[in-house]
């Protein structure tokens, strides 16, 4: 017999354990109830709405290019015959448009409704006038245009269907397959779990699942961490709590509209409505028994039982679903026989790809980082993007057309195999805001969803050279004078340097040496030897530091090859570095989003800072001023022949496998890359491979984003310099260039080599820009 004290201790311990378990269960139940209380099934699939950047109406813009009539119609403006007297009205007459622009709304800067008059001549807006006081305004913004919901724009197809509209045989097929006792359990079904475990043990593999539909729905909503047993317990508690909060009808309807049903190309399908539309071109209400069983059978393994890729396996799975329905008296033997004998015949017809698939993939990724705790696709957000629909459509059309022209012009570039086809990237950035106006990450999104604009790592070649010269134009970290000015004389001559203990001699770009050249000529003609000599003179560490300051984030090693672009960078990263030059030396992180607004009206904006503070406005202008010659009479001069007008700066670049051009105005930076994914030899220079694409896009873009000259910042002065001596030009110097200098580094010595009168002085094209 156990003595009384021991019995009391054991009894006390038992009560303590029981009390602890009771408290733990109560707390777990309270947690589950609280967690479920935050779930709103009615809004679970509320799509996030996506907006374009506001359309800017300003002098210089082409009315046709921005499709002003269509834009106003899509924004819901009403055309009237009298003078517009209320926001949302407009009137057009020959040479004049009158628009009463609505007041701005969050997250745009606050602005009241504004009546304006547009004076039009030759399709161009010549003036924008405030009708209220007759004063001209620089430009006005229309409201952001709705582009669609994020699901559709990122190829996640959802077509919610009310449960009352779903045929009985569709519901029966799902219940027979996934949860036969759905209407009898309270969220967890121990009988089904035991039966599934027994069947799986007998078969030696998993052929049945024990989770109820409610548990499956919870799993799709709950991302909690923990071991397998903790996870199972959490899901069970949440399932029970969910069933206490919502009706069976609400749970089943949500499940049928959110269950994952596989991938077809870039398209991801959620819910029976999406799958029925894609595979059978039918509404759920029109599915027959065989089609319903096919979709129900896919739930267990959507890609394994895909009717497109595995029709025989899909048919076997479908017939298994039909047998279960027959065995549980949900269909007759005759219905079973008729449906089971049919082949699996599908003709997948996905919806057409939306505008900018690569761009909106990037939007999804960025929005996910900004709103990490929210499902950005179904969280009911308002996502205001930076895309300009006109520029995006132009970029997609131009890139596709010009790549085809390259393949026709150079037959060696053409490949029948889609995966080996020539690829390209086009990025257009607003340098002031860092906002991406257009982004194309590849040639055929249906065949490849890889976004080369944001993820490919390629060698920029000569497109990196401007940052070598920028490093020389800057002063040292302790106030040292710059080691380079626009009048410096560089050496274009044979050169051998040491690289990791071995001798390396860069290849010359042409068959002869020029001897002494200025930075302008070295950049315009993309001279390798002069650039390597410059990098060695100013120091490779200074080049790396400057690259970091303008926004490069890729790893860089101070080796001699860096001067010629011997580093892998991402195209968007390179475009952002050039945007720093266009934005007065201030780096801004490139973003596809201007703001995200949640259901409560809270606004989240992306971070803008990039790099370590950039460079001075004067230093950025100096390199920009040099890069204008690339587009005037250098490797990018064909841009003028192809119709690009106005002030523009930029640089071409090439390797054996890459062709680049990055060119910019004060308001738009555009990058083009051409190459192969498998890094096959390209043998095209940037001027031949990328420049025609860039020029075609920029010619159209300048009608949408007009721009003036590059603004001259303080502390910059101009001097006429003899290009052969680097000294101040005299009246008899033959080759004279107007160069820009920091005020503290402007030359003072006068050219002494040209004393005799030898003819009129010639000023190089760079002088035209000032």
Q: Is residue 759 predicted with pLDDT exceeding 50? A: no
Strands (E), 433-548: 435-440, 490-492, 497-499, 502-504, 515-517
| Residue 760: per-residue pLDDT | 38
Strands (E), 411-484: 423-430, 435-440
Percent of the chain with pLDDT over 90: 62
Q: Rounded to whole angstroms, what are the CA distances from 436 to 341, 579, 594? A: 54, 11, 10
Q: Rounded to whole angstroms, what are the CA distances from 576 to 76, 432, 472, 586? A: 36, 11, 20, 10
| Residue 83: per-residue pLDDT | 94
Percent of the chain with pLDDT over 70: 86
- Taking the CA atoms of residue 369, residue 371, residue 374 and residue 379 in that order, the dihedral angle to the nearest 10 degrees is -110
| Residue 669: per-residue pLDDT | 99
Share in percent of the chain as helix, strand, coil (round to 5): 40, 20, 40
Q: DSSP secondary-structure letter at 428?
A: E
Arithmetic mean of pLDDT, 355-370:
90
Q: Which residue has the higher pLDDT, 62 or 183?
A: 62
| Residue 519: per-residue pLDDT | 96
| Residue 54: per-residue pLDDT | 95
Using pLDDT thresholds of 50, 70 and 90, give the confidence band for residue 628: very high
Q: For residue 630, how many C-alpha atoms fall within 13 Å in the half-sphere facing its CB?
A: 28
Q: Is residue 318 predicted with pLDDT exceeding 90? A: yes
pLDDT tens by residue, 138-172: 899 999 999 988 888 888 888 889 999 999 999 99
Furthest-apart CA atoms within the chain: distance in Å? 131
Q: Is residue 256 predicted with pLDDT exceeding 90? A: yes
Q: Rounded CA gap, 186 and 469, in Å?
A: 72
Indicate the range of 33-42, 283-292, 615-624 predicted with least confidence. Answer: 33-42
Q: Is residue 601 predicted with pLDDT exceeding 90? A: no
110, 92 Cβ separation under 8 angstroms = no
| Residue 223: per-residue pLDDT | 55
Using pLDDT thresholds of 50, 70 and 90, give the confidence band for residue 368: confident
| Residue 108: per-residue pLDDT | 83
579, 588 Cβ separation under 8 angstroms = yes
In sequence order, the β-bridge partners of residue 595 are 384
| Residue 555: per-residue pLDDT | 95
| Residue 757: per-residue pLDDT | 44
pLDDT tens by residue, 259-306: 999 888 888 899 999 999 989 989 999 999 999 999 999 999 998 999
| Residue 510: per-residue pLDDT | 67
| Residue 47: per-residue pLDDT | 80
| Residue 38: per-residue pLDDT | 55
Q: Is residue 653 predicted with pLDDT exceeding 80? A: yes
pLDDT tens by residue, 123-134: 999 999 999 999
pTM confidence score: 0.86
454, 590 Cβ separation under 8 angstroms = no
Q: Is residue 766 predicted with pLDDT exceeding 50? A: no
In sequence order, the β-bridge partners of residue 156 are 268
Q: Rounded CA gap, 389 and 572, in Å?
A: 19
Q: Which residue has the higher pLDDT, 200 or 462?
A: 462
Q: Is residue 332 predicted with pLDDT exceeding 60? A: yes
Arithmetic mean of pLDDT, 535-548:
95
Nearest residue to 292 via CA among 161, 167, 158, 163: 167
| Residue 224: per-residue pLDDT | 55
**Is residue 234 packed enough to be buried (19+ CB in 10 Å), middle (13-18) or exposed (0-12)?**
buried
Q: At CA 399, angle to CA 393 and CA 405, rounded to 5?
A: 135
Q: Rounded CA gap, 104 and 245, in Å?
A: 40
Q: Which of the given ranges, 208-212, 280-284, 667-671, 721-725, has the highest pLDDT on average?
A: 667-671
- 334 token code pair: 């005759």
Strands (E), 166-274: 260-264, 267-270
| Residue 758: per-residue pLDDT | 39
């Amino acid at each position: 017999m156990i003595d009384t004290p021991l019995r009391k201790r054991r009894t006390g311990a038992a009560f303590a354990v029981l009390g602890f378990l009771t408290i733990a269960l109560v707390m777990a139940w309270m947690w589950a109830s609280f967690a479920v209380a935050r779930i709103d099934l009615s809004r679970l699939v509320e799509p996030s709405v996506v907006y374009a950047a506001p359309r800017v109406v300003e002098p210089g813009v082409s009315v046709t290019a921005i499709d002003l009539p269509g834009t106003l119609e899509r924004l819901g403006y009403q055309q009237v015959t009298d003078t517009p007297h209320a926001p949302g009205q407009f009137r057009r007459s020959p040479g004049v448009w009158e628009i009463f622009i609505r007041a701005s709304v969050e997250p745009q800067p606050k602005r009241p409704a504004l009546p304006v008059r547009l004076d039009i001549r030759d399709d161009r807006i010549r003036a924008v006038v405030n009708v209220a006081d007759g004063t001209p305004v620089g430009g006005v913004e229309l409201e952001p245009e709705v582009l669609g919901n994020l699901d559709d724009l990122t190829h996640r197809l959802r077509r919610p269907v009310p449960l009352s509209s779903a045929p009985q045989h569709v519901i029966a097929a799902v219940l027979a397959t996934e949860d036969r006792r759905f209407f009898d359990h309270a969220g967890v079904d121990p009988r089904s779990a035991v039966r599934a475990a027994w069947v799986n043990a007998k078969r030696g593999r998993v052929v049945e699942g024990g989770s109820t539909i409610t548990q499956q729905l919870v799993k799709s909503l709950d991302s909690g961490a923990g071991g397998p047993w903790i996870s199972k317990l959490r899901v069970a508690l949440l399932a029970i709590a969910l069933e206490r909060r919502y009706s069976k009808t609400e749970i089943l309807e949500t499940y049928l509209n959110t269950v994952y049903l596989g991938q077809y190309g870039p398209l991801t399908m959620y819910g029976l409505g999406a799958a029925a539309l894609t595979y059978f071109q039918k509404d759920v209400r029109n599915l027959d028994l065989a089609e319903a069983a096919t979709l129900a059978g896919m739930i267990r393994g959507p890609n394994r039982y895909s009717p497109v890729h595995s029709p025989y396996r899909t048919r076997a799975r479908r017939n298994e679903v039909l047998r279960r329905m027959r065995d549980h008296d949900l269909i007759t033997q005759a219905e079973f026989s008729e449906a089971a004998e049919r082949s699996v015949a599908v003709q997948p017809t996905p919806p057409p790809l939306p505008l900018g698939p690569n761009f909106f993939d990037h939007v999804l990724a960025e929005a996910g980082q900004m709103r990490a705790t929210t499902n950005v696709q179904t969280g009911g957000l308002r996502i205001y993007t930076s895309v300009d629909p006109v520029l995006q459509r132009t970029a997609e059309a131009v890139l596709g057309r010009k790549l085809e022209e390259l393949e026709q012009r150079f037959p060696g570039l053409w490949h029948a195999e889609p995966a080996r086809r020539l690829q390209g990237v086009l990025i257009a950035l607003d340098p002031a805001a860092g906002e991406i106006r257009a982004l194309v990450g590849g040639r055929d999104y249906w065949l490849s969803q890889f976004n080369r604009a944001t993820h490919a790592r390629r060698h920029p070649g000569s497109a990196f050279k401007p940052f070598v010269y920028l490093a020389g134009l800057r002063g040292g970290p302790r106030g040292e004078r710059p080691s380079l000015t626009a009048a410096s004389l560089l050496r274009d001559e044979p050169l051998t340097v040491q690289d990791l203990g071995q001798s390396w001699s860069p290849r010359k770009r042409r068959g002869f040496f020029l001897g002494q050249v200025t930075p302008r000529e070295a950049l315009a003609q993309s001279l390798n030897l002069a650039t390597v000599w410059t990098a060695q003179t100013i120091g490779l560490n200074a080049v790396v530091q400057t690259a970091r300051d303008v926004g490069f984030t890729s790893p860089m090693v101070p080796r001699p090859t860096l001067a010629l672009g011997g580093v892998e960078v991402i195209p968007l990263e390179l475009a952002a570095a050039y945007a720093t030059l266009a934005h007065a030396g201030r780096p801004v992180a490139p973003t596809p989003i201007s703001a995200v607004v949640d259901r409560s009206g809270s606004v989240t904006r992306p971070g803008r800072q990039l790099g370590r503070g950039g460079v001075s406005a004067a230093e950025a202008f100096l390199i920009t001023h040099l890069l204008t010659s690339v587009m005037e009479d250098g490797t990018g001069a064909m841009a003028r022949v192809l119709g690009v007008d106005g002030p523009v700066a930029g640089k071409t670049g090439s390797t054996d496998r890459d062709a680049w051009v990055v060119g910019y105005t004060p308001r738009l930076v555009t990058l083009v890359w051409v190459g192969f994914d498998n890094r096959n030899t390209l043998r095209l220079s940037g001027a031949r491979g990328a420049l025609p694409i860039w020029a075609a896009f920029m010619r159209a873009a300048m009608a949408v984003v007009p721009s003036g000259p590059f603004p001259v910042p303080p502390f910059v002065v101009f001097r006429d310099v003899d290009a052969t001596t680097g000294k101040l030009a005299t009246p008899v110097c033959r080759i004279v260039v107007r160069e820009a200098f920091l005020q503290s580094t402007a030359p003072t010595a006068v050219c002494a080599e040209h004393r005799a009168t030898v003819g009129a002085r010639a000023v190089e094209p760079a002088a035209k820009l000032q």
